[in-house]
Structure 1
Amino acid sequence: MGRNAIIFHGTGGNPDVCWYPWLAGRLSSRGYAVEVPHYPGINVEPIAGFLQKVLDGHSFDEETVLVGHSGGAALLLALLEHLDVTVAQAILVAGYCTRPNSAEEPVLQEIYDWAAIRSHVRDIYFINSREDPYGCDDRQGRAMFERLGGTQIVRDDGHFGDYNQPYERFDLLDRLIP
């Protein structure tokens, strides 16, 4: 099938903001088939029903690279738990596994089967900032890293893109994806 990558935007986001178009272009130029789907239901619809739409909407295999930002990174936890294949790589940018602030987080599951998640991805990265304005910080990254292993990267870079934080490029991601 060839290498493919799927980039999941965050809560209230869309495929045209932040570094998503830039990264899609970089990966396409290296031969990846890239999808940047628009899911307005991310972190709006309860994960129990929403997850099936995502599973049905894409193909996953051992060469798939998954990138998620914020709510899209939280989505990757549920997605990885319920896949029936082991994907090549998952990168969770400003991800979280418990409520990072007082807002409702319908994208989160009550509990996770961490062993299942780990068995469905060969290489996993957690990229968080110490001063994330939404609480998707290095402590959230550490909580996932402690349960799943992989690589934790801590920066001081806000939310890695937001309505008030233009983030047109993300060179680190380009380097992490082979």
Structure 2
Amino acid sequence: MTRAILIHGNGNSKPTDNWLPYLKKELEKLNIKVDAPQFPDTELARSSYWLPFLENELKPDENTIIVGHSSGAIAAMRYAETHRILGSALIGTYYTDLGIEAEKLSGYFDLPWKWENIKKNQKWIIQFAGVNDPWIPIEEAHVVRDQLKTDYYESKDQGHFGGDYYKETFPELLEAIKKKIGKL
């Protein structure tokens, strides 16, 4: 059975923020089991908390889709470096600490990225980026796109897909996932 894990971002984000409840409900209609837990250490989203929580508590496997928003997308990429999953959807992702102290403290950027491992450990990768994202320069998204050869979607008006650009639904993401799993 296909399963999905939804990972919110940092800064005290919750699994009830933005479009996450919508996506959970819509994926469940497709008979996909969806886990959308509150991750620990939400302010900093440190890898030393999030990756063990993902591995030991949620246990994604080769039938699991990981959907990550912002820091959740970073966690999804780092997890896929060493674990096989079905696929991932990376929303508002980046690959550097952006010169932000909290991002430096997260631990995700201490080691070089293993791009080839991330690609080979899953069948597909979807990516959504916002040209007008107030936190992530679009060049960051372009590097991830180019390194991972993602199915890339770029928005001109959705910002970081949350926060100031709050969006309760995300049909474009749902359709992209449905296309990948053959549920159109």
Q: TM-score, normalised by structure 2?
A: 0.86
Q: Deviations over 1:23-45 (max 9, x none)?
A: 00000011000000101425625
Aligned residue in 1 for 2:8? 9
Q: Structure 1: 5+ residue runs without aligned partners?
A: none
The amino acid across from 1:153 in the alignment is Y
Aligned residue in 2 for 1:94? 92
The amino acid across from 1:4 in the alignment is R
Q: Deviations over 1:2-60 (max 9, x none)?
A: 01001100112101110101100000011000000101425625324541222111132
CA distance in 2, matches of 1:151, 1:103: 30
Aligned partners of 1:88 and 1:121 also within 8 Å: yes
Secondary structure, aligned partner of 2:123: strand
Moved more, 100-109 or 25-34: 100-109
CA distance in 2, matches of 1:172, 1:150: 15
The amino acid across from 1:69 in the alignment is H
Q: 1:43 to 1:75 in 2, by over 3 A?
A: farther
The amino acid across from 1:22 in the alignment is Y
Aligned residue in 2 for 1:158? 159
| C-alpha deviation, 1:88, in angstroms | 2.0
1:58 corresponds to 2:54: no
Aligned residue in 1 for 2:182? none
CA distance in 2, matches of 1:37, 1:141: 26
Q: Deviations over 1:57-90 (max 9, x none)?
A: 113222211100011111111111121x2x2221
The 5-angstrom pairing of residues 125-144 of structure 1 reads 125-135=126-136, 137-144=137-144
- Structure with more of its chain in helix, by fraction: 2
Q: TM-score, normalised by structure 1?
A: 0.89
Aligned residue in 2 for 1:114? 115
- Give the percent of matched residue pairs that are identical in Structure 1 and Structure 2: 24
CA distance in 2, matches of 1:72, 1:107: 13
1:27 corresponds to 2:24: no
The 5-angstrom pairing of residues 45-84 of structure 1 reads 46-83=46-83
| C-alpha deviation, 1:165, in angstroms | 2.8
CA distance in 2, matches of 1:151, 1:123: 8
Question: Following TM superposition, where does structure 1 have runs of at least 4 consecutive aligned residues deviating by more than 3 angstroms?
Answer: none
Q: Structure 2: 5+ residue runs without aligned partners?
A: 179-184
Secondary structure, aligned partner of 1:25: helix
